[in-house]
Amino acid sequence: MLSTFNQAYVFLFTVYAGFIIGFLYDCCRMVRKMIHAGVFVTGVLDLLFWSMIGMLSFLVIFYVNNGDVRLYTILGFVIGWILYILTLSPFVMKALNWIYRALAAMIQWLVKILLWPFRMLWKAVSRPLAFIKRNWNRWWTERRRKFLSCLKKTVKKGEDEKEF
């Protein structure tokens, strides 16, 4: 039997673990938001989340309470999670959202810088290629038209000769 002081310590530690569980939940929510997760990915993320929570809960109960599962330990996890959701979660989600937007903007800026030489090369090559393509199409259309007209004349002469 644990003393009242030890029970309070275990309870407060499980409340703290509930806060950590809430933070992990917010991280999973942000990952789902970032990747626009479908049903399958959401299921995988949920499985990963619950596996992490199960491991965390097991470790906390094992190390803090010597593996004894008591009602106050479970209540500590639940109260910690609820307190986190009601107090810190909105601020953490705003911070994670801001970090996500900042990272996305930096990556977009970096990609823009890295692709700049290729864009300039494409601009330099595309104008002459467009000129060549336009002239090629004119030349090819003209040659095709002449070939078809010669072919028609040849076929017509061949039909006229067969009649005799």
Give the domain ranges of the chain: 4-87, 97-164
Q: Measuring CA to CA, which residue among 33, 46, 28 is closest to residue 101? A: 33
- 3 state SS for 45-87: HHHHHHHHHHHHHHHHHHHHHCCCCCHHHHHHHHHHHHHHHHH
Residue 76 identity: G
Give, for 21, the enclosing helix (H) or strand (E): helix 4-35
Q: What is the pLDDT of residue 159?
A: 64
Residue 5 confidence (pLDDT) above 80? yes
Q: Is the pTM value of this prediction over 0.75? A: no
pLDDT of 81-133, one tens digit each?
A: 999 999 999 999 999 999 999 999 999 999 999 999 988 888 887 777 777 77
Q: What is the pLDDT of residue 158?
A: 62
pLDDT of 50-70, one tens digit each?
A: 999 999 999 999 999 888 888
pLDDT of 37-49, one tens digit each?
A: 889 989 999 999 9
Count of positions (residues) in the chain: 164
Residue 123 CA: distances (Å) to CA of 25, 109, 157: 47, 20, 51
